[in-house]
Homo-oligomer: A and B are copies of this chain.
Amino acid sequence: MGKERDGTGPERPTTSLSPSAEFPPLSAQDVEALRRLGEHWRAGEPVRALPVDPELRPSGPGAAHARGPNEEFRPDQPGELTTTPAAEQPDSLLGRLAVRVRRVLLGPPLSSTSMLRERMRKLIALPILSSDLLSSVAYGPEALLTILVLAGSAALGLSLPIAGALVVLMVAVGASYRQTVRAYPHGAGSYLVASDSIGPRAGLTAAAGLILDYVLTVSVSVAAGIAAITSALPALSPLAVPLSLLVIAALLTGNLRGIRVAGNIFAAPTYLFLIAIGGMTLVGLAQAGARGFAVVPAPPVPASEAVSVLLIARAFASGATSMTGIEAVSNAVPALRPTEWRNARTVLTWMVSILVLLFSGLMFLIYLNGLVPRANETLLSQLAHRTFPHGPWYAIVQAATALVLLLAANTAYNDLPRLLYFMARDAYVPRRFLHLGDRLALSNGLVALSVAAAVILTAFGGRTQSLIPLFAVGVFLAFTLSQVGMVNHWRRHRESGWRRRAGINAFGAALSSIVLVTAAITKFTSGAWVVVVAVPVLVLLCLRVRRHYDRVRQAVSLRPAPAPTQLPSEGGRERNMAQEFLPQRVRHLLVVPVARFDQTTLRALAYVVSLGQPSLAVHVSPEDQEADRLRDEWTAWGDHIRLETVVSPHREILEPLAQYIAQLRERSPDITLTVVIPEVVAEHPWQRILHSRIEHRLRKALRRLPGVVITSMPIHLSEVHSPAR
């Protein structure tokens, strides 16, 4: 599988997100092949003498009734025009309306040159990329203690050591990613790192885990946010699913407006949350300090399990859920302002520091206050009540928490399209994920994420709690692979200090893999098996997609692969290609299917004859008499072109015609057969049922035949002025 890195594979561009990613440049070998082909090219004079000015200059012939180049196309340099917004207006009324609606929702289109300005400042990147990560302090402690309390209130004393281990994990993973961002400054996501340092399958495995995790994050956090709202306002309960879909639509719209606008929209709630929780932690610590950090004993809880290694591991794994945000930064490196990697490291450091401070502060306060999880009130709420018994502070903490949980989804909106972009660049997912929309957002990825999340949310009727066990497995799979990859990376490059760096990453990898294995085993029956099944399936799908694109790339390559049994003699290859690639070697046969004698037929006949190439008319007739009648008309016309009649006594038209053309091609595989199909284009869709659509079906049938070129000559009814009645 090392093949992808050779000359024929898609080049891994050194630049970041680019509007030109859909148009990759040729390799040096390709340009050389092109030059060789060009040398053999022979063309006559007419080809360059054009009957119309391609630069649409107003001074050209026909300037009188030309709209002029200024309205839609602006001259740029010789041979180059630039479009104005007018050139993007669709012709149809409906299309124009759609553009109008889009403008209102998404704002005016952004030019490719504003790419750099569309980057995130650090203070915007922090909330955008960390809402998922930071929101985890709202439920991480709870998840940890919920497991631990199974062993009774006596086991709660273990919470501090476990929290300590988690802090170590956070710091280790954070430090690990700081190194990764430096080593892979153009995108440091698990997919890129694992692909590069381990192999494509490892990269795809990490990517599959992340894709699952991101989609689940959106479904679950939106559903949870809406559930918080509907539990406050029960009247809205029946609207839970529509409201959730509305939130997804809002997230989609906000993100489609581009990074900067999305940043402005989504930054405030995260900062609010930081201030609220940070403030609460500080006030809580001050209060605890005032009473000399005395520990309030926890209420007695009966033990239902004994304290065991497995229990501790489960508590550890549960507390570690939803660290996806770290990954988000690493993929988003190219979206930051220059110097990108440096800014990314700073943001990462901020994020992890805040996470560690908040998490350890909260864990400590919970321990000090002797709080235990309750069914009807979250730990965070208990803590807020305890800290702020009076005043509006409790409500603010709760509102900020609900808001940030809702926005946790936004991290996925930021990262998944980017991951898909990188995967599309390597041809593992449809190429359309490379396309930058008219606001420079990765629109197709955003839409795909929204649709997937909306489908899952609707399928589960908004009750996505059963999906929560699916988390963590995917993201820790990615973490582990990324960090193992980094160890490989350091071992391969052996820069100064590589041993220390490899050590840091190895430590991160070890911790991550413990969480991964624990989560996969302990949650297997409650849902994690879905991930265990889905990841390999996704990987296989990506490989199938890649195989298809590889075949296409080979099919259209300028340097076709030599047949296995054939020596790659230079001349032989060029002779093979010459047939189709050099104009002087193309041999034509133009075929016109004739149904009856009318303008459409005559236009098609004049068209083929005017090209001066060998031409043939074919008529499929339901009976002998009709064939004779058409032949008589043909003679009356002057028999200017060879007519072949095929009598189809069972009145089938399409198949005999297609098979006749296939046989012509089979007899002379070296000719290029062009079938010219005249066709009346109706103005209104309803009129389509009035036409046999045989032209449409013929085109479809002929597309199956190799080496057959299909030409449609549309004749428009709107061109015809009906005479006065």
Contacts and interface: CB of A to CB of B under 8 A. Distances in A.
A643 B624 CA distance: 51
Q: What are the 9 A-B residue pairs with the smallest beta carbon separation, nearest first?
A: A38-B638, A586-B610, A583-B609, A109-B650, A583-B610, A111-B649, A556-B598, A112-B623, A20-B626
Contacts of A640: 38, 41, 43, 47
Interface stretch (A175-183, A239-247, A658-666): A658-666
Nearest to A614: B50
A90 to B, nearest CB: 6
B23 A81 contact: no
A98 to B, nearest CB: 12
A80 B669 CA distance: 23
A228 interface: no
7 contacts: A23-B596, A31-B633, A34-B597, A41-B606, A91-B658, A430-B690, A710-B714
Given A31-B636, A588-B610, A651 B435 contact: yes
A599 B37 CA distance: 11
Contact of A612 (B612, B718, B723): B612
A525 interface: no
A652 to B, nearest CB: 5
A493 interface: no
A585 B20 CA distance: 42
Interface stretch (A154-162, A359-367, A547-555): A547-555
A668 B50 CA distance: 11
A644 interface: yes
Interface of A, helix, strand, loop or mixed by DSSP? mixed
Given A20-B622, A650-B110, A636 B712 contact: no
A492 interface: no
A25 interface: yes
A630 to B, nearest CB: 7
A559 to B, nearest CB: 10
Contacts of A637: 34-35, 37-38
Contacts of A703: 681, 712, 714
A39 interface: yes
A495 interface: no
B23 A715 contact: no
A377 to B, nearest CB: 47
Nearest to A109: B650
Given A606-B586, A623-B19, A633-B34, A724 B88 contact: no
Nearest to A611: B611
Interface in A42-57: 43-44, 46-56
B552 A616 contact: no
A642 interface: yes
A322 interface: no
Interface in A661-695: 663-664, 666-669, 671-672, 674, 680-682, 687, 689-692
A76 B647 contact: yes
A599 to B, nearest CB: 4
A117 interface: no
Interface centre among A39, A76, A650, A711 (most CB of B within 10 A): A650
A667 B52 contact: yes
Contacts of A61: 667-668
A438 interface: yes
Contact of A39 (B24, B638, B651): B638
A583 B606 contact: yes
A330 to B, nearest CB: 26
A66 B663 contact: yes
A22 interface: yes
A642 B54 CA distance: 9
A262 to B, nearest CB: 19
Contact of A91 (B35, B652, B663, B704): B704
A75 to B, nearest CB: 11
Interface residues of A, number: 180
A498 interface: no
A65 interface: yes
A651 B20 CA distance: 9
Contacts of A168: none
A111 B649 CA distance: 5
Quick one: copies of this chain in the complex?
2
Contacts of A73: 646, 656, 659-660, 663
A173 B614 CA distance: 63
Contacts of A558: 597-599, 602
A305 interface: no
Contact of A723 (B51, B564, B614, B643): B564
A79 B715 contact: no
A96 to B, nearest CB: 11
Contacts of A598: 556-558
A629 B25 contact: yes
B656 A87 contact: yes
B659 A72 contact: yes
A260 interface: no
Given A431-B692, A642-B54, A722-B551, A83 B710 contact: no
A52 B589 contact: yes
A67 interface: yes
A311 interface: no
A149 B87 CA distance: 78
A580 interface: yes
Contacts of A381: none
Interface string A696-715: 00010101101011111111
B65 A666 contact: yes
Interface in A334-386: none
Given A23-B596, A85-B650, A724-B564, A52 B556 contact: no
Contacts of A582: 606
A111 B650 contact: yes
Interface string A598-610: 1110110111111
A205 to B, nearest CB: 21
A20 B648 CA distance: 11
A6 interface: no
Given A81-B644, A689-B430, A625 B680 contact: no
A555 B43 contact: no
A318 interface: no
A72 B656 CA distance: 8
Contacts of A391: none
